[in-house]
Structure 1
Amino acid sequence: MPVDPKQRRAARHAQPADSAAQQTRRKAPITVDRITDAALEVVATQGYDALTMRSVAGMLDTGPASLYAHVVNKADIDELIIGRLCAQLVLPQPDPAAWREQILDVCAQIRDQYLQYPGISRAALAMVSTNLDVMRVSEGMLGILLAGGIEPQTAAWAIDALSLYVSAYALEHSLVTQRQSKAGDDWVLSRDELVSRFTALPEDQFPQTRRYANELTSGTGHERFDFTLGLIVDNLTRTRPPA
């Protein structure tokens, strides 16, 4: 029986098993921006530990070899993803009257960016980056501190100290969250359990820990973060680097 011409036309225009969107994604050229997008998606959905050349390539429906025409290695991707996050930060015009609030706000922005991507602050640790987006943030922070009358050497080291603390804080937060998400993992204790354990310690060996158990375990949200940054920033005007 002859096939109806409409059926023939429908067959020619029928999509294969893969959707048109999937075909378009596969055929789209690999670029640095797409590699960065894919890397951030890996971290957002699977955590930083899952970030490899292979996992990024998988997000792009290609093989790892395809990435090497655009990036050098995994460390290069680390710099790209931190650069992408830095590009999204809003840097103020340095104001001598508001420099303290400005520097704390920039640090809080960096913290919030890191917390969106579990463990991503590891990529920033021990990185001396020449990525322009990363350097834009360092330049902005330096300008804020200098506007506040901080000595240049003190300001330079302060940026390093603040960056290290923000990265460490975000990393600890991601590790705790990761452990809390695992059923049966009892390494992360509630505050009530910590207080109970501290107050049960032998009094002759741990008198201060028992007495100040509530103080030792206090702090909600980002209170400890704000406290520590405040300690650093409030001492900058009194700090002098060694000669």
Structure 2
Amino acid sequence: MTDIPVPPWRKTRVPSAPRTALSRELIVSTGLRIVDAEGLEALSMRRVAQELGTGPASLYAHVANKEELLDLIYDRVMAEIAVPEPDPERWLEQLREMIMDAFRVFGSHADIARVGLANIPTSPNALRIAEGQLAIMLAGGVPPRIAGLMLDRFGLYICADAYESALYVNRQRGSDKDLDAFLEETFGQIREFYQSLPAGRFPLLAGHVDALTGPDGDERFAFGLDLMLRGLASYVQDADADGSPTPKG
């Protein structure tokens, strides 16, 4: 039996593809994908809804607003940071590895580190990392008050440095060069500028250009971190009679 054609006055309804069920997990994953590709400025509830083929209103059943979405994305990123079991014999090394890992993780996710600025740890992974860092420091003999202060300083140092690095990536997006070529051109111009400074007025800046501009971002971050860790280690000693820790000098 041959198929009977549909009369031209009847419109056939082509079934649409089933929509993917919305969930907080899917919304956060989509938001992170946008941030990774285009940065924080590209993220909005409307943009996430467009990526998911729905309207912004449907997202609010799962996420209260953009601020909560940013917090959730930030926490998702921090889930990538490993927290080791404290080892008193190598606590400084563990702390260094953990903080370098955090710097690399934030560096691989555009400018997400900006969310961590002026943000006290309250989300699950932020608390996990804070607890881990405190555990390592206390296991190494760092006094609790000093460990608490350093926890704040480490967070600020990581986020600020990672965010600054991301600003260069944001500038590169507006150019016609890849990131390596953009950075080479940018810092090449800075080197040329310093070399052109009047030597009689700025002899040290003009004479030490390589020392000033040579180290890359990773080396600079590691240098600053090592300074902080050396200072932290100086507090590992017996407290004074009144219980107040003092550096070793």
Q: State if a TM-score over 0.5 links the two structures.
A: yes
Letter in 2 for 1:208: L
| Aligned match for 2:220, one of 218, 224, 236 | 224
The residue aligned with 1:178 is 170
Distance 1:209 1:241, change over 3 A: farther
The residue aligned with 1:4 is 3
Could you tell me which runs of 5 or more consecutive residues in structure 1 were left unpaired when the two chains were aligned. Answer: 9-13
Deviation at 1:3, TM superposition (A): 4.0
The residue aligned with 1:11 is none
| Aligned match for 1:74, one of 54, 61, 66 | 66
| Aligned match for 1:167, one of 159, 173, 193 | 159
Percent sequence identity over aligned pairs: 33
| Aligned match for 1:236, one of 223, 232, 239 | 232
RMSD: 2.8
Q: TM-score, normalised by structure 2?
A: 0.82
| Aligned match for 1:94, one of 83, 86, 91 | 86
Deviation at 1:123, TM superposition (A): 1.4
Deviation at 1:16, TM superposition (A): 4.2
Distance 1:241 1:166, change over 3 A: farther
The residue aligned with 2:240 is none
How many equivalent pairs are there? 229
The residue aligned with 2:146 is 154
The residue aligned with 1:209 is 205
Letter in 1 for 2:208: Y
Deviation at 1:143, TM superposition (A): 0.6
| Aligned match for 2:44, one of 43, 52, 66 | 52
Deviation at 1:192, TM superposition (A): 3.7
The residue aligned with 1:111 is 103
SS in 1 for 2:21: coil
CA contact (8 A) 1:48 1:117 kept: no
Q: Residue by residue, what CA displacement relative to the aligned partner does 1:153-180 show, whole Å, maximum 9, x if unpaired? A: 1111212111111112211211112223
Deviation at 1:104, TM superposition (A): 1.4
